[in-house]
Structures are given as C-alpha cells and as structure tokens.
C-alpha cells in the first residue's frame, strides 16, 4: 500500500549498500566469507530488500535474531544461508529444518532439546556453536575455571545425533572501543576463542567449516580475527568512524518536508513546556517528524537538520508527530522544501552524539510509520509503508 502523503520518508540507497559490500569484500579478501547482519529489519533499512541486494552481490550468509526474522526472508524468496543468533523454541525445530535455517546453540540444555527434536523428526539441524569469550551474554562459558567444562560440553554437543555443527563463533564486546584496555580485552577474547576451537577440534576429531567472530570493529581494525567469515552490521550500512575510514557510504537518508511556516516575535515560547523561547523575530518551520517517527525526544533543542541553505537547529520539545526548526535566515526554504534529518549530507554520527547514543539506536528507531523508499540507479524502485490497510 502506497502512501500519498509527502510526510517523512527514509531513502534506502541500495547502490550504496552494494558498493559498501564490494568495498568490504575487497577489504577482507577472497578467502574470507561475508555474513551480512540483517537483524532488526536490517537495522531499520528493510531486511528483505537489503538481503536481496546482498544475495545478488554474492554475500555468503545472513544473520538475524529470531526465527520470525528468518522466515520473513524465506517467505520473500531469500534462499541463501541464514543464521539465527538468538534462541528458537524447541517446537520450531521442524520449521528451521524445513526452511534450511541455521540455529545457534548456546548451552548444553538447548543442544539436547534440538538434538532430541531433530531425531524425532528423523532429520538434521544445522547449528553454529556460540562461545562466550567475555561478552557475558549468550554462549558456552569458557573463561578461566569454566574452560575445561566449556570445551567438554561443546565436544559432546557437536557429536549429538541430529545436529550438524557447521560453525562456531563468538562476539566481541569492545572491538570498537579505543584504548589499550579495550585492545587487550579483544585480544584476550580472540585468543580464548581460538584456544577453545583448537581444543574442541582435537577432541572431536573434526573441523568446523565456518569459524567467525569479527563484528564491525574487528572487521575494520583487526584482520587477524577474520578466520573463515566476518559478520559486520553497522559497517555494512555505512555508519561510524570506521565506515568513513573505509570510504563507505551511509545507506539511509531520512528526509522530511517543511509542512508549515510561522512567524513569531521575540520572546515567544515554542512547543510543550516552553523549553525554547525565541530570542529574535523568528521564522519557524514545522516538520511532520516527531518521536513517533523515531526522533528521540531527548534531542529536543539539540538536533540540527540539513536544509538546502545549510544546517537548521531544532527548537523546543520534540512532539509525537512534529518538531520545529528555525528557518529565519533561510528564506529559500519554504513549505514543501525537503529537509534531511540525517543521511549523506547530515551525518548521523553528530545526531547520535547529541543524543548521547550510537548510530545503531537512531536507525533502529526509525518507526514503521516512516515509509522506506528503495533507490537503485537514481530511481525509486520500491516503496514500502508498514500500515495495516
């Protein structure tokens, strides 16, 4: 269903995405596989279109957080391998196998469940073993005193009937942090991971076909961690300092258009709570973009958007559906003029910093009310609005 409103929209540049993929592929080299992280609707970019683009470009794997996200891709014709990073309930194992979806195993109890269910079905479930090397979230704990037990459990679980342990992976918690401490922590995680792999493979007598650990930070900075496959998310979408260093382009441009222009005298209070008072005669633009669209309310009075005549500051509390910008010195920006919230002309990193958050949160916050416009070769090739018409 297409919207007839020219309200707020997100342009997803599929050419930039493909180009980022090619540049990253060149960066990692031919021998390393590429797993595109497309969880959370591909960080708000639209997982189906992003996955299609990656599949066409030749990526090797996709990773999502849940079976629902995986099924969304299968239902839309994505046939390449998909890894689920999170948990899947036992009663969904048949669906995983039927749809050739790879499941992460994070502990022995789950391995037993999956094995029993696969056996009951007389089939095999493809799995990747998750090692907790210091993230302290999911995975077989292998640190310090847990090393022997962790390795032992992984060896047992790899041999369970009904399971095909294709891969093993871990996740870094500080690969994108600066400083010696973070560097040492990442190195320790990596050494522990490698040591677990060696010990498991030796006792198991088989090798994992795909070993992987490099997220965005590691893909950009630590080639020694690539192993068989890298697994970047943010980098692929072209955000953050590492994306700049690698000459990658931001894939999403969030845009809106000025809805109304108002003129106020000095000393006029603007929006809820009177948080902003005009200090001069002010020409104020109203944008149809508010916190229900993903404009974090904590950015009130702090955000800067980009107009055709340069940056304009946002004034007063951000409302649910609207926000105001000062257009006093921008006479050429009027009703209907396009404004970029963030994107190629207004880097998301500055807005993330102003909100004391990370670009991840800003792209994930772009709500379902915001239609996605997929652009290829300078043309809008698809529009998508998630409303229940």
Question: Which position's Cβ is nearest ligand PLP?
Answer: 233
Q: Is 140 labeled as catalytic in the residue annotation?
A: no
Does residue 171 touch ligand PLP according to CB under 6 A? yes
Give, as ranges, the residues between 24 and 53 that touch ligand PLP (CB under 6 A): 37, 39
Is 39 annotated as catalytic?
Answer: yes
| Closest distance of CB 232 from ligand PLP, Å | 4
**Binding ligand PLP by CB under 6 A: which of 25, 45, 128, 231?**
231
Whole-Å CA distances, 70 to 65, 74, 81, 186: 8, 6, 10, 29
* 225 or 278: CB nearest ligand PLP: 225
CB of 180 to ligand PLP, least distance (A): 21
In 10 A of CB 182, how many CB atoms? Answer: 16
Contact with ligand PLP (CB under 6 A) among 85, 118, 200, 348: 85
Minimal distance, residue 284 CB to ligand PLP, in Å: 37
Give the range of 227-235, 297-305, 312-320, 361-369 binding ligand PLP by CB under 6 A: 227-235
The answer to whether residue 234 forms part of the interface with ligand PLP (CB under 6 A) is yes
* 216 counts as binding ligand PLP under rule CB under 6 A: yes
Q: Which is nearer to ligand PLP, 36 or 285 (CB)?
A: 36
The answer to whether 8 contacts ligand PLP (rule: CB under 6 A) is: no
Region from 45-53, 141-149, 233-241, 298-306 binding ligand PLP, contact rule CB under 6 A = 233-241
At residue 135, φ and ψ (nearest 5 deg) are: -75, -30
Write out the residues near ligand PLP by the rule CB under 6 A. Answer: 37, 39, 85, 171, 215-216, 231-235
Q: Could you give the residue numbers annotated as active site?
A: 39, 272
């Amino acid at each position: 269903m297409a919207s007839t409103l020219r309200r707020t929209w997100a342009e997803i540049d599929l050419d930039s995405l493909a180009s980022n993929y090619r540049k990253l592929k060149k960066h990692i080299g031919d021998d390393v596989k590429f797993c595109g992280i497309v969880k959370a609707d591909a960080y708000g970019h639209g997982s189906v279109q992003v996955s299609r683009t990656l599949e066409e470009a030749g990526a090797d794997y996709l990773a999502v957080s849940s079976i629902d996200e995986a099924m969304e891709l299968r239902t839309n014709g994505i046939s390449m391998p998909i890894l689920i990073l999170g948990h899947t309930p036992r009663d969904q194992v048949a669906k995983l196998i039927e749809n050739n979806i790879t499941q992460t195993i994070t502990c022995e109890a789950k391995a037993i469940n999956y094995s029993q269910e696969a056996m009951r079905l007389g089939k095999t479930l493809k799995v990747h073993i998750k090692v907790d090397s210091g993230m302290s979230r999911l995975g077989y704990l292998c640190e310090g005193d847990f090393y022997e037990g962790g390795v032992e459990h992984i060896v047992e679980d790899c041999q369970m009937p009904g399971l095909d342990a294709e891969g093993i992976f871990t996740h870094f918690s500080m690969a994108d942090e600066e400083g010696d401490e973070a560097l040492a922590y990442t190195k320790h995680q990596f050494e522990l991971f490698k040591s677990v792999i060696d010990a498991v493979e030796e006792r198991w007598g088989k090798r994992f076909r795909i070993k992987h650990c490099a997220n965005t930070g590691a893909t950009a900075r630590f080639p020694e961690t690539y192993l068989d496959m890298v697994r970047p998310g943010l980098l692929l979408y072209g955000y953050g300092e590492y994306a700049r260093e690698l000459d990658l382009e931001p894939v999403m441009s969030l845009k809106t258009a000025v809805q109304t222009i108002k003129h106020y005298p000095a000393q006029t209070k603007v929006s809820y709570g009177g948080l902003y008072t005009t200090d001069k005669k002010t020409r104020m633009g109203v944008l149809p973009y508010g916190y229900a669209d993903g404009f974090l309310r904590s950015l009130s009075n702090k955000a800067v958007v980009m107009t055709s005549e340069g940056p304009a500051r946002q004034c007063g509390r951000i409302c649910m559906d609207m926000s105001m910008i000062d257009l006093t010195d921008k006479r050429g920006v009027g009703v209907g003029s396009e404004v970029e919230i963030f994107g190629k002309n207004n880097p998301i990193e500055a807005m993330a910093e102003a909100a004391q958050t990370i670009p991840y949160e800003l792209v994930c916050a772009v709500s379902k009310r915001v239609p996605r416009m997929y652009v290829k070769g300078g043309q809008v090739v698809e529009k998508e609005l998630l409303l229940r018409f």
